Structure 1
Amino acid sequence: MDSADLLDLLGNENRRRILALLARRPYYVTETSEELRVSPKAVIDHLRRLEEAGLVESRVDDSGRKYFHIARSLRLEVNVSPYRFGTKSVRPRRGLDVTRCRYVSIDVDGGDPDRDHDHGHDHGDGDGRGRSAERRGTDAPADPGALAADLDRLDDLEDELSLAQRWVQARLTETIETVADAVDGDGDRDERLYADALLAAQDGADSTVEVARALGLSEAVTREVLFDLRAAGFLARVDGRWEVAD
């Protein structure tokens, strides 16, 4: 589902409350209705929409009662700042190779070289359900101490990543403002344009047409932005091509 559609879906408070319930355990309609004090008809409609979106699944027990539960893990990210708005929805995958990250270093083995978590290989369907099913099919005993330590370590890591995201957002805003303040251009122009144009040039866009395409602007406006950046010493014109100044 598109992240914008997902935002619309989760904009409803009762749907968010239903998901909060289902994150604890499976619920059936009447139980959900009583817990939230919402009519069964409304609960059924909310569950139908959540099920159509793939967020919720249902199963029928031996007595014929239908239980609903969250289908799989999903992370929705929303970024709002004076210079950027964006949404992103991603599904967690165990097989992601975090060692490829250029700027973030994560101790994937938890500092214990004797433990083999088979990192770098995907198990099951990669959505947070396959590994549990795999374990249920084996007789290998779980190590309570190791699992508890994993839970504690991953909980701390989640907090640290959130802190890192806040730091990045603050530094990004500060850097955009630094670039804009250094450019003596049109005071009415969006400050973000200068940072976006500079980033496009850094990423290899070396013509006005390419930068305009990256910014989604007309060539005329883009040309003015590029010349402002050149006047401020950020860009240079070499053999008819734009490049970041030394």
Structure 2
Amino acid sequence: MRLRNVSRSRNVVDRRGRGGRAAGGIGGIGLLVVLAIGYFAGIDVTPLLEQAGPSQQSSEPRELTEAEQQAGDFAARVLSTTEGVWAELFPEQVGRSYTPPQLVLFSEVTQSGCGGASGSSGPFYCPADRRAYLDTAFFGFLADRLGAEGDFAAAYVIAHEVAHHVQNELGILGQVQQLRAGASERESNALQVRVELQADCLSGVWAHHVAELLDSGDVEEALNAAHRIGDDYLQARAGRQPNPHTFTHGTSDQRARWFEIGRAAGRVGDCDTFNADRL
């Protein structure tokens, strides 16, 4: 992805370098592995965290590594592209203005308006404070552990979380939350799948409108990432028999398909997963 001439977004809050993990608990990539398993595969990882003992943030500041600095710069530039795309599309396709989210960069653990980033949280969006949260070490996990390599695979992760903010701006997340409150677990999971697939589609809409920034192979990187974070793939990778009733993000094929639906024409209206007969 060609980002050299893209300015950095000013809506980035960088909490990295404010101290690392104190003694005890799971740290670094170990924590990311556990969180990602829970986030993507729908597995309750609380027992794993409890077995490892409490994890605490140290107040000792530290210098960011060169890799962390590069990851932060990359995230700020990708966020800037989402701001440009959605600021243009909202008046054209939605009929209103767009207010962008803040992106909080953190290391290992953090606090949000939705609580602590632990258990089932990896990269996530919090509707309560309208912020997206990202541990930039997740980029390495995505490439090294899941095989979703490439800068556009990482950009897709950011675009997906911003897409949840778009859903929040449109009032979709609030409506779904009300529906899930009175639903069974199976029905609630099914609704969440449609939320996530819509976010994948909206990520595709973004990809359509940043086509001039893409290098050869970038789209393939995003599609590979979508396949690598499908519920069926991740449950099988975790040694489980894939169980559709427990899916919360959609299958690999569904995630890739809805990304491509959004990318095809770049229209928000094409992303209505809630009224789609086929996911």
TM-score normalised by L of structure 1: 0.29
Larger Rg: 1
Report 1 or 2 for greater relative contact order, CA contacts < 8 Å, sequence distance ≥ 6.
2
TM-score normalised by L of structure 2: 0.26
